[in-house]
Structure 1
Amino acid sequence: MAAELPNPRDIPPRLLGFLDDLFTADQRDDHPSSSSYDTARGLAAQLSRESTGLDGDLLLLRQNLSSLLVAWISRSFSAKAALQNLHLNLQKTKPTATTTPPYGIGSTTFQKMLCEDLPRLAAELKRIEKIRLYADITLQLEAMVGDLEDAVLSVVNQRARNALMDHESRQEMFFQAVRFMNDIEEILASPVKFQPHWYHLLKSVDSRVDNILTLLRPLVLADHRAVLSSLGWPPKVWTAETQNRKTSILPNPLVLMQVDRQKAYSKSFLALCALQHVQKHREERQLGLVGQKEKLTIGLWAIDELVSPIASRMEYHILKWTDQPEFMFALVYKITRDFIVGVDDVLQPLIDKTRLVSFSAKESWVSAMVQSISAFLTKRVFSVLSERYREKETRLEVITSWLHLVDLMVSFDKKMLSLLSSEHYLFMGDAERLEGSSRYLSVFSVFSDRPDWLKIWGKIEIKEGTVKLKAELKHERAWLFEIKEEASSAIDRTNKQFLLYTREDHKAPLIVESALKLAWEMIDRGKNLPDILSRIQFIRSTATKLLWYFFNSLLLQYKRTECLAHDCSNDSLLTRYGVINAARYCEYKLQEWSDDVNFLEMKIAESEYNACVKGDGDDNRRFFGEEIKCLADLQVNCLMEIIAGILYQFETLTQEYIQNKEQFKQEKEDASGFGASMCMNFPVSDDFLEALDSLRSQLCIIHANLNPLDFSDLWRSVVDGLDRFVFSSMFMNGYRLSQRGIDQLRADMQALFLVFKPFCARPEAFFPRVRNALKLLDMNRKDLRQLQVVVSSNVLDRTDCVRSFGIMHLSFDQAEKILSSRDLGLHL
C-alpha cells in the first residue's frame, strides 16, 4: 500500500517555505518530471547524510556528558567521604570525664585536620563550584549564540535564494536577533567584572557574534535604505525655486510621509537604533576589558543613512565651487537648517524609545552634515592646496586661499553650532564642547588627522602675522604713548597703581596693542581645533612665535637707546620707558590669558604630554610662563640701569658737598648742651641743592612717562640706594660734628625726604638708616647716660641695648661710631 501523503496544513511553515524555495514553479506540477525526481532523490540523500552526522554529534555529546557526570559523581563521593571523616574526627574529640578538658584539645590529628584537611576541602569545593558555574554559563552562551546564528542565517539564506519575505517578518527577525544579542551581553556582564580570567570564553563569544554582525548589519542597512528610497529620500538639494529665492525652505520627506510609510520607516529606524544600542554596549564592555576609556561619539547609523545620499547629491554642486568655498558652506548650512526641525520632531521620539539616552537627533544630524563637508574638504580642497603650497610659483596664491578658507570655516562652525539650542550644549564649557561629544561638530577636525596640514597652516599664519607686525613697527607712531592728565594728587594716583587694566593705564606704546591683537587672533582661530594637543601645537607655532618676535623687537629698541649710565637726562630714556611699559602691559595680558580655564587645561595637557613622551616636566605653571619670565627680566634690567644712572648722577653731584668738612666741624657748645638749636631753621646747603634739584627733575620725568607699577619699584629702589649712600658717606666717615653741623645735616636730610613727598605720605620711613642716625645725634645727655648704663650692665646684648632705644636698623658698632662724632666724655 502506498504511503499516504501528509496534509499540507500539518506541515510547519518553515518546512513548507523551505520546500517551496527548493522546487521551482514547473516542478510543482501534477505530473512531476524526471528532474523533479532527481531533485527529490538528491534532497533525500542530503537529508540522510545530515541526519547521520547529527546523530553522530548527538552520540558524542552523550558520551562526553556521561564522562563529565562520572567525574562529577567521583568528586562528589570524595567530598562526601572527606565530610564523613571530618564528622568522625569531631566525634572522637568530644570531651569525656576521663579525657582532658576542652582547653586540652591539641592532638596531632585535630591540628592536622584544622590546618590541612579543612583548607584543602574548602579549596576543592570552591574549585568545583567555579567549574560548575563555568559549565553553566558556557552552555547558556552556546545556546544563545546558536539561536542568534540560526535567526540571522535564515534571513541570509532567504535573500540568497531570492525568497519573498514581507517587511514586517524581516523586522521581527531583526528585533529577535537584537534581543538575542542583548541576552548575551547580560550574561557576559558578570564574567567581565568577577571572572576576568575567562578571557578565552569571552573572546570566543565575541568572535562568533562579530561574524554574525558582519551579516546582520548589512541586511538591516539594506532594508532601511529601501524604506528611505520609498519615501523619496534623498530630496532635491537644488531647484529652480531655491535658486531664485534664497530663503525658500526645502521640502522634508520625513515630515510629508504618509501614515503607512511612517510606520514602516519607524520600525526600520528602531531596528537600526536597537542594533547600534547593543553594539554600543558591546564596545563599552570590550574597552573596559582591556582597560581603555569609552570613546565618545554622537553619530547615529540611522542619521548617517540620511546624510550619505544627500552628501552624494551635494557633491555634484560643490565640485563647481572649489574656487568659491563660501557657496558650498552656504549650501550645507541651508540643508542642515531646513531639515533640522523635522529631524528633531520625527526622530528624537524614536531615539528615546530605543533608550539611546546619550544620543541627540539634532547633534547627530549637524555632526553628520559637518563630517560630510569635512570629508569633501579633505579630498578635494586641502589636498590640492597642500600640494600647490609646496610649489613656489603658486605659494602666494595658496596662502590667500587658505586663510580665506579658514575664515569661512570659523564662520561656518559658529552658524552650525547656533542650530543646537539644547540647554545641555549651551551650558557646557569650551573645552568640554571640543573634547567631549561635540568634537565632531567642527570642520577643523580635518587638521586633527593631518598634522602636516596643521603645520602648513601654522607656517602661513606666522608668516602673515610677522609681515603685518613688521609694517606696524615701521609706523612713525608705533612707539608713541599718551599721557593722561589726572586732576587727583600724585599720592592718589600712586594708590591706584594696582588698578591698571588698559594700555593707556600702563602708558604702553601703540605697537603693543597691535602685537597682542595679532597674537590673540591666531589663538582665537586655533581654539576651533577639536583636539587639545593640536590646539597647543598650533598656538605654540603661531601666537607664541609672534610674541617672541615682538619681544626681540623690544630688546632691539632697548639696545638702540645709546644712553650712558651717567647721562640720565638724555631723551633716549623716553624710549626705554616705552620699552618698560610695553613689557609690563604684555606681562599683564599674558597673565590674564594664562588664567583662563582653556589655557589652564592646555598647560596641564602639555605638561602631561611632555612628561610621558619626552620624559621632562615643565616647572612653569602658566601656559605663557617662559614669555612672562622673559618680560619680567627685561623690565628688571631696564629699571636697574635707570636706577644705577640716577644714583651715579646723585653721587657725582654730591661729591663736593660730602668733601666739605668745614661746614660740619665742632664748635663751642651752648650751655644748654645737646639739642639746643634743634628748633632753628637752617637753609639747605648750596652744594646739596643741585643734586636734589636734579633728582627731583628726573623723578618727575620718570613718573610722567613710566607706568605706576614699575615707577613704584623704581623710586623705592632709588630711596634704598640713597639711604645706603648718604648713611655711609655722611654718618660713617668719621666727621667731627658740631651742633650747628648736626642741624645743617638734619636740614639737608629733610630736604632729601621732601623730594619723595609727592610719592608717599612719610618719605622718611623709607630712609631707615639716615633716620636712625639722626635720632642718635638728637639724643640728649640723659638718654646717652642711660644708654651707657644699660650697655655696662651686660644684661642685654649690645645690639639689643641700642634697639631698646628705638634704633632698629643700626648695629651697636654703627651707633657707637655715630655717637663718637661728638666729644661728650661718654663712651659706650
Structure 2
Amino acid sequence: MTSSASPPVFTNVHRRHLRSFLDGNYKTTADLLKTQSLLFDLENDCLCLESDVTLLSDKLRCSIREWESRLGDVNEALVRERFDLLGWNEIRLKSMKSKGDAKAKLEVLAQEINRIETIRIYAETTLRLESLVGDLEDSASQTGPNDFRSKNEKFQSAIKSMEDIESIVVSLVMKNNNNTQRRTQTWARLIESVDSRVQSTLSMLKPQALRVHRSILSSINWPPPLASNTESSSAITVPELPNPLVLMRGDTKVQFSQSFLVLCALQHLQNRRESRKHQLNNSTGSLACDLDWNLWAIDELMSPLATRMEKHFCKWSEHPKFVFALVYKTSRDFLDGIETVLQPLIDRAKLVGCSVKETWIVSMVRMLSTYLTTRVFPELVIHCTTTMVDDDHEVISKWLNLIDLIISFDKRMMGLANTGILPKGMALPSDFTEESPLPMLLYSIFQNRKPWLQVWAEMELRDVEGKLKNKAESDTSWVIVTLSDDSLSSTTKSDVESELTMFMLSSREDFKAPPIVDSVIKISWTMIDRCRTLPSIELRLEFIKSSACVLLDWFYQVLIQRSERKTPEMNPNSDATTTVIMEDDMLVRLVTCINSAGYCESVMEEWSEDLSIIDLSQTHGLFKKEIKNMLKLETDCLEDIMSSLLLEFELFSRDYIRDSQRWEVTVTANDEQLEPDNISRLFMECLDMVTVRLRRLKSGLNSKDFADLWRSIALGLDHFIFNSIMLNKMKFSKLGIQQFTVDMKALFCVFRPFCVRPEAFFPYLSDYFRLLLSVSREESVFFTERLNMNDERIRDELLIIGVSHLSVKQVKKILHRRILDA
C-alpha cells in the first residue's frame, strides 16, 4: 500500500522495537520466503488501526459538541454564583441573624425524614411479617390427606415460617433497644401482636404433632410391660425390660424420627420465644433450667410409662423400697436404647448441650417426685403433726426409712447420669457425694416445702432423743480411762519431753472424753451428711440448725447440769471446810465436762473447715454459737476447779501463815549449827492436798487443759502466799528465811513432774527469795537508804540481782521487815 505521507521519523525506541520485530520474524534465510504474507498481515493491521482512529475521532467530535452545548449552562451558573458571591456579606449577615431558626428548621427536617424512614421500615416489616404469619396460619389450618407424609410436610412448612418470623422479631428487638420509648412501644405492640398470633398457631400445631407422635408410639407397643403377673415384687427381679425403640425398623423408624424431630423443632422455637421474652423483661429465675431439662418428646415417652408404673406403686404403699427399685430398674434398662436411638436425633435437631440420657433420668426422677409429693409425704406430714405421740416410733421409722431410700436413690441415679450404666451387682461407693443439678435429685422436693424440712429435722431428733437420754443418765457413759495415782510418783526427762507431743489432740481418746460424746458427735455428723445434697445452701443451713445444732445445744445443756456444783446449806455447827472442799465426785464431773466440751469444740472447728460446709460456716456463722458455748463451759469449769483448789489451800495453810513466831526466831552464835532440814509440819498437809489434787487432775484431764490449769494454779498460789506475807506484815529472821525457803522448795517440787523449772511459775516468791537470800546485812542497809532517798537507779540495781516482778515499794517493805541477827 502506497502513501503520500512523509516517511516516519524513528527514535531509538522505535528502532529497538523494529529490530526485535525483524529478529523475531527472520531468524533463518528460509524466513525470507514469508515476506509477502508478512506484508499482507501488516497492511491489514494498519487498515484496522486507521478505522479505529476514524471512529474515535467521530466520538470525540460528538463529545465536544455535547460539552459545548452544556458550556452555556455552566457560564450562566457561574454568573449566578458571581452575583451570589458579590452579595455574600449581606447574605451572611442575614443568615447570622436567622441562624437559630435555620438550625431548628434543620432539626425538624431531620426528624421528619427519620420518621418517614421509620414508617417505611415499619410498613415493610409489617407487610413481611403479615405475609409470613399468614403463611404460618394457612399451613396450620389447611386440611389434606390424613397420611403421615402430608402431615409432616405441613409441620415442616409451619416450622420454616416460624423460624423466619422469629429471626425477624429478634432482629427488631436488637435494633430497637436504644430507641426512644415511644418508638419502642410501637415496635413492642407489633411484636406482641405477632407473638400472639404465632402462639395461637403453635397451640394448634403442638396437639396435632403430639397426636401423630402418640400414634407412632402406640404402633410400636410403647410402653412395654414392666412385670409379669406372678408376684407383686416380680418387677424387681425381671432380668431386663424390652425396649421397643431399639426394635423399630423400616418406615416405622423413619416416621418416628421425623415426628421426634418435629416435636424438638417446635419446642426449640417455643424455648427461643420464651427466652427472648424473658430477657426482654429483664426477669430472673429458673427458666433456663426448665428449658434445658424438659423435652416434649421425652415427656410423651414418660406419660404412659408413669401411668403403668403407678399401678404398681399403689400395691407397694407399705413397701416403698419396691417403688424406688422399680423406678431405678426401669431407668437403667431403657437408658441404653434411648441414648442410642434418640441422641442422634437430638443432635440433628441442633439442640446444643442437650443430653437425652440426663433428660431421661430427670424425667424419671420427676415422675417419682410427683408421686411422693402427692401420695406419700402429705399423709406422713399430717400424721406427724397431728396424731403423733412420744412413744409412736412407727411414723419416725417410716419417715427416716423414706429419707434413706431417697439418699440411696439419688446416688444411684447420679451414677447412671455421670458414669453410665453400672454393671449388675456393682454398687456406688458409700462416700459418693458428687454435686448434681437440681432436677436430678429427689431431694428437690424440699425446695419449696420448708415445713416438710422442719418435720424431717424433728424426726431425726426424736429418733435419737430416747437413746441419748438413756445414755446421759447412765454413769457408764461418762466413765473415762484414767491413770493410777502412782503413775506420777516420779518424773523423768522423757515424761517432760513426751508431754510436748500431747498437745496435738485429735481423737476422743486424746481428749479423754467419755463415750457419750462420741455418740453425740457421730449422730450430729450423720445429720449433716444426710443433707449434703439438698438443692440450696439455705435448705442445708436450715436443716443443720434445726437438727445437728439443736442436738449439740441439748448436749451443752446436759454438760451445764453436770457441771453445776450443789452448795450445801450452811450449818452453824459444821466446819467451814466442808463448804469449800470439792468432793471427788464433783471433781470428776467437772473434768468430764471439760474434756467433753474440748472435744466437741475441736470437732466443730474441723467441720467448719470441711469443704462441703465451708460456705455455711463462713457465710452464715454455722457452729459459731455452739463453739462459743463449749469454750465458755470449758473455761468456767477450769476456773471452778482452780478457785476451789486455791480456797482449799487457803484453809489448810491458814495456821501456817499466821504462825508469825516461827519466822521471827533468832539464833545466837552458839546456835548457828541449827539449820532447818525438814518441811514445816503445818505445811505438809497443804502439800499433800495439792499433790493429790494435781495427780487426779493429771489422770483425768486432757493434756492441753491440764497444762493451762496447773500453770494457773501455780500463779494463784504464788499470788496468795506472797500477798499473805505482805498483808500479815510478817517479819523474817535468818532462820525463818531458811525454813520458809525449804517449805517453798517443797512446793516447787510438787509441780516438778510437769516442767523442768517450776519456780518460773512462782515469780513473786522467787523474787522474794532472791531479795532475802542474796542481800547481805550491809547491802540491806544500803538498799534501804537508797530506797528512802527515792533513787531512780535502784530499779536497775534490783534487776542485777534478779528481782524483776516486785515493785520498789514492795522491796522497801520486805527489807524493812527483815530481822537482822546480831
TM-score by length of 1: 0.73
In the TM superposition, residue 324 of structure 1 has moved relative to its aligned partner by 1.5
**Counterpart position of 2:521:** 516
User: What amino acid is the match of 1:699?
Assistant: L
Paired residues for 1:287-686 under 5 Å: 287-293=278-284, 295=286, 296-297=289-290, 298-301=292-295, 302-389=297-384, 392=387, 397-421=394-418, 433=435, 438-483=437-482, 489-559=494-564, 566-602=580-616, 607=620, 622-665=621-664, 667=666, 682-686=677-681
Q: d(CA) in 1 for partners of 2:468 and 2:774?
A: 64
How many equivalent pairs are there?
695
In the TM superposition, residue 300 of structure 1 has moved relative to its aligned partner by 2.9
Q: Is the 8 A contact 2:733 2:819 kept in 1?
A: no
Paired residues for 1:18-57 under 5 Å: none
Q: Is the 8 A contact 2:676 2:739 kept in 1?
A: no
Q: d(CA) in 2 for partners of 1:545 and 1:701?
A: 33
Change (3 A) 1:432 1:123: farther
Change (3 A) 1:750 1:447: same
Task: Say whether residues 1:776 and 2:766 are aligned partners.
Answer: no
In the TM superposition, residue 797 of structure 1 has moved relative to its aligned partner by 7.8
In the TM superposition, residue 554 of structure 1 has moved relative to its aligned partner by 2.1
Change (3 A) 1:331 1:138: farther
Q: d(CA) in 2 for partners of 1:543 and 1:320?
A: 36
In the TM superposition, residue 118 of structure 1 has moved relative to its aligned partner by 11
Q: Is the 8 A contact 2:162 2:198 kept in 1?
A: no
Aligned counterpart in structure 2 of residue 215 of structure 1, from 198, 201, 214: 201
Task: Say whether residues 1:687 and 2:682 are aligned partners.
Answer: yes
Q: Is the 8 A contact 1:145 1:205 kept in 2?
A: no
User: What amino acid is the match of 1:212?
Assistant: V
Q: d(CA) in 2 for partners of 1:111 and 1:688?
A: 117
Q: Is the 8 A contact 2:411 2:433 kept in 1?
A: no
User: What amino acid is the match of 2:360?
Assistant: W
In the TM superposition, residue 603 of structure 1 has moved relative to its aligned partner by 5.1
The more displaced of 779-788 and 808-817 is 779-788
In the TM superposition, residue 329 of structure 1 has moved relative to its aligned partner by 1.0
**Counterpart position of 1:696:** 691
The more displaced of 282-291 and 708-717 is 282-291
**Counterpart position of 2:816:** 820
In the TM superposition, residue 373 of structure 1 has moved relative to its aligned partner by 0.9
Aligned counterpart in structure 1 of residue 256 of structure 2, from 261, 265, 275: 265
The more displaced of 631-640 and 468-477 is 468-477
User: What amino acid is the match of 1:235?
Assistant: P
Instruction: Find the residue that maps to 2:223 and give its secondary structure.
Output: coil
**Superposed CA RMSD:** 4.4
**Counterpart position of 1:725:** 720
Change (3 A) 1:743 1:213: farther
Paired residues for 1:184-223 under 5 Å: 184=168, 186-188=170-172, 190=174, 194=178, 197=181, 198=184, 201-202=187-188, 205-206=191-192, 208-209=194-195, 211-216=197-202, 217-223=206-212
Aligned counterpart in structure 2 of residue 710 of structure 1, from 701, 705, 710: 705
In the TM superposition, residue 337 of structure 1 has moved relative to its aligned partner by 0.6
Instruction: Find the residue that maps to 1:322 and give its secondary structure.
Output: coil
Share of identical aligned residues, percent?
A: 34
Q: Is the 8 A contact 1:581 1:706 kept in 2?
A: yes
Change (3 A) 1:283 1:816: farther
The one-character-per-residue Cα deviations of 1:627-646 (angstroms, maximum 9, x if unpaired) are 22222222222222111110
**Counterpart position of 1:249:** 240
Which blocks of at least 5 consecutive residues in structure 2 are unaligned? Answer: 1-83, 421-427, 569-577
Q: Is the 8 A contact 2:478 2:514 kept in 1?
A: yes
User: What amino acid is the match of 1:418?
Assistant: G
**Counterpart position of 2:137:** 153
**Counterpart position of 1:743:** 738
Change (3 A) 1:451 1:199: farther
Change (3 A) 1:514 1:627: same
In the TM superposition, residue 508 of structure 1 has moved relative to its aligned partner by 1.3
Q: Is the 8 A contact 1:274 1:354 kept in 2?
A: yes
User: What amino acid is the match of 2:501?
Assistant: K
Change (3 A) 1:560 1:328: farther
Q: Is the 8 A contact 1:692 1:755 kept in 2?
A: yes
Q: Is the 8 A contact 1:577 1:705 kept in 2?
A: yes
User: What amino acid is the match of 2:191?
Assistant: V
In the TM superposition, residue 704 of structure 1 has moved relative to its aligned partner by 0.7
**Counterpart position of 1:810:** 806
Q: Is the 8 A contact 2:784 2:816 kept in 1?
A: no
TM-score by length of 2: 0.74
In the TM superposition, residue 205 of structure 1 has moved relative to its aligned partner by 1.8
Task: Say whether residues 1:176 and 2:152 are aligned partners.
Answer: no
The one-character-per-residue Cα deviations of 1:595-641 (angstroms, maximum 9, x if unpaired) are 33443333567x5xxxxxxxxxxxxxx31222222222222222221
Q: d(CA) in 2 for partners of 1:207 and 1:318?
A: 47
Change (3 A) 1:701 1:624: same
Q: Is the 8 A contact 1:696 1:755 kept in 2?
A: yes
Task: Say whether residues 1:238 and 2:227 are aligned partners.
Answer: yes
User: What amino acid is the match of 2:742?
Assistant: A
User: What amino acid is the match of 1:403?
Assistant: L
Change (3 A) 1:508 1:200: farther
Q: d(CA) in 1 for partners of 2:372 and 2:227?
A: 20
Q: d(CA) in 2 for partners of 1:126 and 1:688?
A: 111
The one-character-per-residue Cα deviations of 1:758-779 (angstroms, maximum 9, x if unpaired) are 2223322222222233333344
Q: d(CA) in 1 for partners of 2:805 and 2:746?
A: 22
Q: Is the 8 A contact 1:311 1:372 kept in 2?
A: yes
In the TM superposition, residue 419 of structure 1 has moved relative to its aligned partner by 1.1
**Counterpart position of 2:575:** none
Instruction: Find the residue that maps to 2:417 and give its secondary structure.
Output: coil
Change (3 A) 1:748 1:345: farther
Q: d(CA) in 1 for partners of 2:756 and 2:796?
A: 30
Structure (1 or 2) with the larger CA radius of gyration: 2
Change (3 A) 1:599 1:158: same
**Counterpart position of 2:39:** none
Q: Is the 8 A contact 1:802 1:808 kept in 2?
A: yes
Instruction: Find the residue that maps to 1:496 and give its secondary structure.
Output: helix
The one-character-per-residue Cα deviations of 1:189-240 (angstroms, maximum 9, x if unpaired) are 6358645953674475256325523532444444443443344332222246
Q: d(CA) in 2 for partners of 1:500 and 1:144?
A: 79
Aligned counterpart in structure 2 of residue 228 of structure 1, from 217, 220, 225: 217
In the TM superposition, residue 317 of structure 1 has moved relative to its aligned partner by 1.7
Instruction: Find the residue that maps to 2:622 and give its secondary structure.
Output: coil
Q: Is the 8 A contact 1:137 1:187 kept in 2?
A: no
Change (3 A) 1:283 1:656: farther
Instruction: Find the residue that maps to 1:596 and give its secondary structure.
Output: coil
The one-character-per-residue Cα deviations of 1:446-475 (angstroms, maximum 9, x if unpaired) are 333333433333333322221222233344
Q: Is the 8 A contact 2:784 2:815 kept in 1?
A: no
